Structure 1
Amino acid sequence: MPVAHVTFGTKDLERGARFYDAIMAEFGGDRTFAHDKAIGWSFPDGGPSIGITYPFDGEPANRGNGTMFALMAANEDMVRRVHAAALANGGSCEGPPGPRANGFYAAYFRDPDGNKMNAFCVPTEA
């Protein structure tokens, strides 16, 4: 079954919007909807979209321990730009850009609500 979208809970929609506007801009994506309780973004080439929302049940948003959303970047430079955009817009570093043991080039970060994400690519051989 294809994944349609990923939604993260947020405690501050405006703060989250600044973060995701910056991240999605690096992929050429933009907002596809916004209202007083949720905002969503899509990628220009399709694929799963990303959303943030105040939890429907009214309880505080919290992050999933062990949960991570990975964004495939076009190249190593894009990985570095996404990581920098994340940190410049309220995110925190969970692992700087660099090669990983599994052959990926990746950077790990959290959004302002603590949701873990990464940007990665599979480097081409020189």
Structure 2
Amino acid sequence: MIGYALVGSKNLDQAKAFYDELLKPLGAAPLFEHPSGGRVYGKTAPAFGVVGPHNGAAATVGNGTMISFLADTQEQVHQVFAKAIELGGGDEGGPGWRGDPGGFYGAYFRDLDGNKLCVYRIGPED
């Protein structure tokens, strides 16, 4: 199983401000400051972090890479998506059912560095 996931950033101060606010509706908080100048967040495992690349090269977006955040409610899906857009993130598909209603309810967006993210809930309407 996944223990943690990381994305890189070209501007860690800006990225930390984005994720500090973005992850609040999910109950995630900073766990610790990363040695690269980034930050790791969580509530339970797995954890998520935004960091500077270890090799010192520029942070780039992975083609086909996406990280998803599990929400407890559809309202949290809406809150996180709205916060992402408010903070300058890119819309990759707003909240809604993907497939049959009662299954996967999610929203897709990009962070300030272009990393693709998803917030979702599985199960019938709240």
**Fold match by TM threshold 0.5:** yes
Aligned letter for 2:46?
Answer: P
Tell whether 2:10 aligns with 1:28.
Answer: no
Structure 1 residue runs of 4 or more that deviate by more than 2 Å after TM superposition: none
The CA deviation string for residues 53-77 of structure 1, in whole angstroms up to 9 with x for no partner, is 1112121100111011111111111
Tell whether 2:105 aligns with 1:105.
Answer: yes
5+ long unaligned stretches in structure 2: none
Residue 65 of structure 1 is matched in structure 2 by 63
**Is the CA contact (8 Å cut-off) linking 1:5 and 1:49 kept in structure 2?**
yes
The whole-number CA distance in structure 1 between the counterparts of 2:125 and 2:53 is: 44
Q: What's the C-alpha RMSD, in Å, of the aligned pairs?
A: 1.6
Aligned letter for 2:29?
Answer: D
Aligned letter for 2:23?
Answer: M
| TM-score, normalising length: structure 2 | 0.89
Q: How many residues align?
A: 123
Q: CA deviation at 1:125?
A: 5.8
- Structure 1, 57-66 or 26-35: larger mean CA deviation: 26-35
